[in-house]
Structure 1
Amino acid sequence: MSIDGKTAPRNRKGVLFTKFMKGNLPKLLHKLRAEVDAIVVGVGTVLADNPRLTVRFVEGKNPVRVVVDSRARTPLTAAVLNVKEAPTILVTSKKASEKKLKALRKMGVETIRCGKNKVNLSEMLRILHKKGIRTILVEGGAELRWGFFKERLVDELFVWVVPVVWGGKNAPTLVDGEGFTSLDKVVQLKLKHMEIVEDVLILKFNVVKQNS
């Protein structure tokens, strides 16, 4: 993200920080991908960036790609649906079109209905756990990250801060959503690691578990 906490421009088009992915940074990112069982993104990330979500630059197995997409808006031409590269699971709510889901399954994409109007993230994780998926990396976007923090489903947070100020009150931040309303409800973090690589500040936090 930028120094002012933005993860993309306000029009949400294009990848903001591509120019900073140089030197060892691509290897560090893809090493994270190679270490998890699955990568999770929201449909907004798919529509904005059309990512492949595969492991490159380092050796390692491609993780399962999981797209959280309540109404199955992911285009059939999306790169993440190319199951020849890695398995893909599309998680939807009951609002998703069965016709669209059938088309996805015909392409080899696994579909899971989970939630009435929007995807129930806690239930999704239980289903993924039953499939042998123990570790996940939530890459984006900001609304999905909020959902995970709101439901207290996060164990670690990795933040890469690039030396720019982007601005824009409507630009997406690291975590969007409605937000917490008081300090006693916020997610507390403990800094575990900090380093600078290619002018990018890399931070690793552990989430402080709180009694419910």
Structure 2
Amino acid sequence: MEKKKIFLASSSELVEDRKEFEIFINRKNKDWIDEGVFLELIVWEDFLDAVSQTRLQDEYNKAIKESDIFIMLYFTKVGKYTEEEFNNAFNQFKSTNKPFIFTYFKDAPVTTGNVNKNDMMSLWAFQEKLKELGHFYTVYKNIDELKFKFNQQLEKLVNAKFIELKPDGSGQAVPVTITDNSVHQVHYGEGDNIGHDKITGK
């Protein structure tokens, strides 16, 4: 059985999106279990009852480093811990070419009376940071669009052999060599090609 670990990071305001995304992954596992693939979704709720000798955030960061895919959801704000998780995933990617990093920005109506100025500033600052890093976030308007768009990325990961489906259920992890045009390769700094940042549909 091939197992791929997916770390899902987001702020508390997107708790419902996280729950729906977890249901989506569970359904995907039902489709793929007979083909030898299991997607292990890791969310912060999994750690709430854990006992740690360090701060709990360190446990999240350790899980990120062990993940194959890192997904970040954000809406009206990017908290310091969520940004720390992104930074850890990004640094790990620079060192090891994984986890693959996907960032999804929810573009949905908000009530202006509920918008916090500092929250919005954290959002804009993070988006500017992504721009400087050359990382492209994906916009989604609702949970159905998020599931649809990430499912497309899963299909591309299968086509790229990062996830290998085996009809006999004997899926084995294999080294990933991605060469098709569906992969966006980025350069961070002059002459510093760190590999595959994000699978895209372009």
TM-score over 0.5 for the pair: no
Task: Say which structure is richer in helix.
Answer: 2
Please report the TM-score for the alignment, with normalisation by the length of structure 1. 0.30
Please report the TM-score for the alignment, with normalisation by the length of structure 2. 0.31
